[in-house]
């Protein structure tokens, strides 16, 4: 008995060593497989990336940049605490639009028509058409204001940009167009660089983001409140959600890629609010307390040059130009998508003019009408921007309520309907937007009859 036992005893450590070696090999193989899986998921995400990011960034148009610039110049860092709130709201709304587009394969106006009837749809389409046309004019104003800093006249900028945008959409495929949009979105990095060139007090920036307050020395509380409402209102606009859902449907993203598209929608919300925050930081660091009164984003770019240096002002102008071109492209496309879907007409950037004539006619009308109005002498641009924001504000609560009802319709979404916590977030986010939007609309109406709340 002793000899066999002696023979076994030395073998035990060898078995243990082999087991450890086997475990290390298995762990290495597991790590390699996990790394390969993550790479595949990353490239799959890049393939899906686009609609959510583009829709979010398009919200930072000339009107949005103007609002953020005025906010920074008038209130400094005091209202930066709003951006975590607007980030959450936009992420919730864009995720719902993305989910509706992926699961149903239909655009938002198509679903509204099917679920709520033609009359509601026609009213919403009319308001959206007018508002988007006004916003297109405002974004052509942004392109001209940006290039006027470089002494390029409006009469050159507006026609050239309009024709270039039209040709791009008419002749390019959806994939090409999406890549161009994503490339343009990188221009928004200029605002990040401009903010650092201003050398703001980053400690004060961090404290402001964590300290909600409407009190700004020397600024009436009514003015601060209206700016806060305007920031929330300009972050979420109806055309963003219409475009996002239609783009998801046209791209053909299926349910297997739903989580990736949801991530795309959230990334768009994060990037949009990050850019907005840096615009406020740049203008606050350079202009707050200077006595300079801003009314447009172009004025902000001009004002930054003597205060923060030529490079900061130039970067701000480049960002304004890119943002305005992107929005001036998205707005007519979104309008054409929405109206065609609402009335059952063929639509899609990837289709030919012969296959979708109504889509391209509506797109061309909104684009060139916006450019033509911009060239009219004596145009009240500020009044036009305010009017377009008010029209968007009138439509937004209706659209968001429609979205909430649709995303809870089990016949449409099946197991992808909102759960309890998603509904709590959605109702809370939409409730905040509706209340603030009604307040902004009310302030605009009071201003129209001569009652100044500032």
pLDDT of 166 reads 93
pLDDT at 1 over 70: no
Segment 2-11 mean pLDDT: 47
pLDDT of 8 reads 46
Segment 1-16 mean pLDDT: 48
pLDDT at 45 over 60: no
156 pLDDT tier (thresholds 50, 70, 90): very high
Residue with the bigger pLDDT between 156 and 439: it is 156
Q: Is 95 helix (H, G, I), strand (E, B) or coil?
A: helix
Residue 322: closest CA among 333, 312, 314: 314
CB 318 within 8 A of CB 187: yes
Residue with the bigger pLDDT between 73 and 296: it is 73
pLDDT at 350 over 70: yes
pLDDT digits (tens, 9 = 90+) for 307-335: 556 777 788 888 888 888 888 888 898 88
Segment 118-125 mean pLDDT: 79
pLDDT of 124 reads 76
CB 128 within 8 A of CB 328: no
Please state, for a pLDDT cut of 70, what percent of the chain lies above it.
80
Instruction: Supply the mean pLDDT for the chain.
Output: 79
Residue with the bigger pLDDT between 222 and 420: it is 420
pLDDT at 18 over 90: no
Segment 113-125 mean pLDDT: 80
pLDDT of 386 reads 62
CATH of 51-448, one of 1.20.1740.10, 3.40.50.150, 3.30.342.10, 1.10.10.10: 1.20.1740.10
The number of helix segments (H) and strand segments (E) in the chain equals 20, 0
pLDDT digits (tens, 9 = 90+) for 47-98: 455 677 787 777 778 888 888 888 888 888 989 999 998 899 889 989 999 9
Segment 237-248 mean pLDDT: 83
pLDDT of 43 reads 39
Residue 219 per-residue DSSP state: B
CB 258 within 8 A of CB 103: yes
Q: Which residues of 204-213 are buried (b: 16+ CB within 10 A; e: fewer)?
A: bbeebbeeee
pLDDT of 263 reads 87
pLDDT of 400 reads 85
d(CA 293, CA 64): 17
pLDDT at 163 over 90: yes
d(CA 230, CA 5): 85
Residue with the bigger pLDDT between 51 and 379: it is 51
pLDDT at 181 over 60: yes
pTM, full prediction: 0.79
pLDDT of 56 reads 78
Q: Give how far Cα 59 sits from Cα of 183, 238, 277, 302, 439, Å.
A: 16, 10, 14, 23, 20
Please state, for a pLDDT cut of 90, what percent of the chain lies above it.
13
Residue 293 per-residue DSSP state: P
């Amino acid at each position: 008995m002793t000899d066999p036992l002696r023979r076994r005893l030395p073998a035990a450590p060898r078995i243990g060593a082999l087991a450890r070696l086997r475990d290390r090999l298995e762990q290495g193989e597991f790590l390699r497989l996990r790394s390969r899986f993550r790479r595949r998921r990353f490239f799959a995400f890049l393939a899906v990336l686009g609609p959510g990011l583009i829709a979010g960034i398009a919200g930072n148009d000339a009107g949005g940049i103007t609002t953020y610039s005025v906010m920074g110049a008038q209130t400094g860092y005091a209202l930066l605490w709003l951006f975590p709130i607007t980030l959450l709201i936009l992420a919730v709304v864009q995720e719902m639009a993305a989910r509706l587009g992926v699961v149903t394969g239909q655009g938002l106006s198509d679903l509204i028509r099917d679920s709520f009837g033609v009359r509601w749809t026609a009213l919403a389409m009319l308001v959206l058409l007018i508002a988007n046309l006004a916003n297109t004019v405002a974004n052509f104003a942004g392109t001209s204001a940006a290039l006027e800093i470089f002494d390029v006249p409006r009469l050159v900028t507006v026609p050239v940009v309009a024709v270039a945008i039209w040709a791009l959409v008419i002749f390019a495929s959806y994939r090409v167009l999406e890549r161009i949009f994503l490339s343009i979105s990188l221009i928004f990095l200029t605002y990040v660089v401009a903010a650092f060139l201003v050398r703001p007090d980053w400690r004060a920036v961090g404290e402001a983001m964590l300290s909600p307050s409407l009190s700004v020395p020397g600024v009436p509380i009514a003015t601060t409140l209206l700016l806060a409402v305007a920031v929330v209102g300009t972050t979420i606009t109806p055309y963003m959600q219409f475009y996002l859902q239609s783009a998801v449907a046209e791209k053909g993203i299926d349910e297997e890629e739903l989580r990736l598209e949801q991530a795309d929608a959230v990334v768009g919300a994060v990037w949009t609010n990050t850019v907005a925050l840096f615009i406020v930081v740049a203008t606050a660091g350079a202009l707050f307390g200077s006595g300079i009164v801003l009314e447009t984003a172009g004025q902000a770019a001009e004002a930054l040059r003597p205060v923060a240096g030529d490079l900061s002002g130039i970067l701000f102008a480049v960002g304004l130009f890119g943002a305005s071109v992107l929005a001036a492209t998205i707005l007519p496309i979104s309008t054409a998508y929405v109206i065609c879907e609402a009335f059952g007409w063929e639509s899609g950037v990837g289709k030919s003019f012969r296959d979708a004539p109504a889509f391209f006619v509506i797109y061309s009308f909104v684009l060139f009408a916006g450019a033509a109005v911009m060239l009219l002498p004596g145009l009240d641009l500020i009044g036009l921007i305010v009017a377009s924001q008010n029209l968007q504000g009138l439509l937004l609560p209706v659209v968001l309520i429609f979205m909430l009802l649709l995303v809870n319709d089990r016949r449409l979404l099946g197991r992808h309907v909102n759960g309890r916590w998603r509904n709590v977030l959605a109702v809370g986010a939409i409730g905040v937007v509706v209340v603030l939007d009604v307040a902004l609309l009310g302030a605009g109406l009071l201003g129209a009859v001569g009652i100044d709340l500032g």
